Chain A
Amino acid sequence: MQVLYFAWMRERIGVPKEEVETSAETVAELVEELKSREPRYAAAFEDMAAVRVAVDQELVELTAPLEGVREVAFFPPMTGG
């Protein structure tokens, strides 16, 4: 699936998006998998209270399932307007 990062998450991880092969069943499992890969992911996902997630462009909770999902995005709380 495509994994996208925005704002400071993009800066900490160093790429705006990447293709990720995973067997994670939920967003939370995907986060744990990414964190174990490299320190830059561990740093970006250090404080999950400051991370929001969208699955196929809809805001979801960390417990959301990933089956059939094409796009997951991680970003900080939104500051538009």
Chain B
Amino acid sequence: MSISVRAEDFDVGAEMAAMTKGRVDIGALVSFTGLVRDMAAGSEMVLEHYPGMTEKALASIETAAQDRWELQDCRIIHRYGPLDAGAQIVLVLTASPHRQAAFEAAAFIMDFLKSRAPFWKKEAGSGWVDAREADEDALDRWS
């Protein structure tokens, strides 16, 4: 289980390879990548976060997923700072003996990350992005 909050980009393939390296017990590896979308090419977004609380919030979401599903490993990478349209923002990897746990745990982690991890998006031009009610409602399915 691990968390990385950083400005630098990530390599999805390398992260997946690192998770399965030297293991033969993992049956399912799910990967979710979030990208900067809906912005004009060449425009920029800035992601602000709350250093300290961000890591705690992500670790707590990861622990909740681990308590609920049989996970063999889990990794969350979330970037902050200036990001161009099309850039990778977030990566969630979940590994499990069977696919259902890996799929569900990755969806659970993303749903909670969206409205419980202290990140805020500001788009150049249009300003701070409003939270979507649908993101908050998405948590209901896990209660």
Residues of A within 8 A of B (CB): 4, 6-8, 54, 57-59, 73, 75-81
Contact = CB atoms under 8 A, between A and B. Distances in A.
A79 B56 contact: no
Interface of B: 34, 47-50, 52-53, 56-57, 78, 89-90, 110, 113-122, 127-131, 136
Contacts, number: 72
Chain B residues touching A, majority SS: mixed
Contact of B128 (A4, A54, A76): A76
The 5 closest A-B pairs by CB, nearest first: A80-B119, A77-B131, A7-B120, A57-B53, A81-B114
Contacts of B48: 6-7
Contacts of A73: 50, 53, 118
